[in-house]
Amino acid sequence: MIYVTKPNLPPFEEFSEILKDIWDSKWLTNDGPYHKRFEQALAEYLGVKYVCLFANGTLALVTALQALRITGEVITTPFSFVATTHALHWNGITPVFCDVEPDSCNIDAEKIESLITPKTTAILPVHVYGNPCNVRKIEKIADTYGLKVIYDACHAFGVGINGDSILNFGDLSVLSFHATKVFTTFEGGAIICHDEKMKKRIDFLKNFGFADETVVVAPGINAKMNEFQAALGLLQLKYIDGAIEKRKNLAMLYRKNLSDIGGIRMLGEDTNVKYNYQYFPVFIDSAAFGKSRDDLYNELKNNNIFARRYFYPLISQFPTYKGLSSASPDNLPVAERITNEVLCLPLYADLDEDSVDKICRVISFRKQ
């Protein structure tokens, strides 16, 4: 069976040595030595000033909104994993859905301004599949209207643009280290911020609001990363570049094999962007391809190839959010189209070229 993804893990022997060290120290959580070392090493690797580690990416999103005291309405995308909008819901914030760009699947920055109201306090874009948003345009809009910008960068570990980390844009960026991500710490996540004062506030919030043993400065939550996650993350940094290079080579093979098949669209690549190859999405034009996306999805499954319709359905189509005026399909024509076209093909560091060739042969054969 070929699954859409598998976690990339370091040699068990190396991790077991670290486990023994943690076991002997009995320091399992609460800002331990591996937590400190991983936080510093990760900031250096990513090229950012401050990293705040979290137990998972969803708690990081929820806390980022708290850290910036976001209220009212936030403009975001319907084409994402549900955690993006759930984080708003848990903070009592109303999501306002903006349509997306067909070429990147990211929020359409040209349509953001028309959605701004007196209740709008922030923009929550997503670097979908690790493709950078139009950060310059979003920054300009935010500056003009006095809005905060929190990037959901859960797909964007290690991504750069014009030689700079994509995580250095916006007020805050949020990462996920879930098992499905390019870089994993089992579960895990982080908030990237740009000044020491904000880092202190975030660190208070993720630890129940404690400033010291007896002082609670805010209604925080328990969102700390433990020592086991941090130790794995520290070890993973040794291998991440090699894993990304393997994914890149497989993505290039997909492009070569699928380029001549009518009805299959692949996202373009910008020479100014350093990609991490988190996913390999294709978009099926049923009229030109001869079969629907779902037909292809099921035929791949019949061949023990488990692709994923990522993201389908739109967040705006779920019962929790479909009653919002911004969730109307008439307001989201591009998102409504691509959610019915997208199919993410298997991509992970341990996938071999023969498997990619097999996947492409199945796609090509079913087309005929």
pLDDT in tens, 126-172: 999 999 999 999 999 999 999 999 999 999 999 999 999 999 999 99
CB 357 within 8 A of CB 2: no
Comparing 2-236 with 240-367, is the CATH topology the same? no
pLDDT in the model for residue 368: 47
> Pick from 158, 228, 171: which is nearest to 201 by CA?
171
What is the CATH number that goes with domain 240-367?
3.90.1150.10
Q: What are the domain boundaries of the chain?
A: 2-236, 240-367
Check whether 301 has a pLDDT greater than 50. yes
For 2-236, the fitting CATH number among 3.90.1570.10, 3.20.190.10, 3.40.640.10, 3.40.630.30 is 3.40.640.10
Spatial separation of the C-alpha atoms in residues 39 and 83, rounded to whole Å: 24
The pTM of this model reads 0.97
Pairing of strands 160-161, 273-274: antiparallel
Contacts of 44 (CB under 8 A, 6+ apart): none
Check whether 367 has a pLDDT greater than 80. no
Check whether 366 has a pLDDT greater than 80. no
Sort residue 229 into left (φ over 0), alpha (ψ -120 to 50) or beta: alpha
pLDDT in the model for residue 365: 80
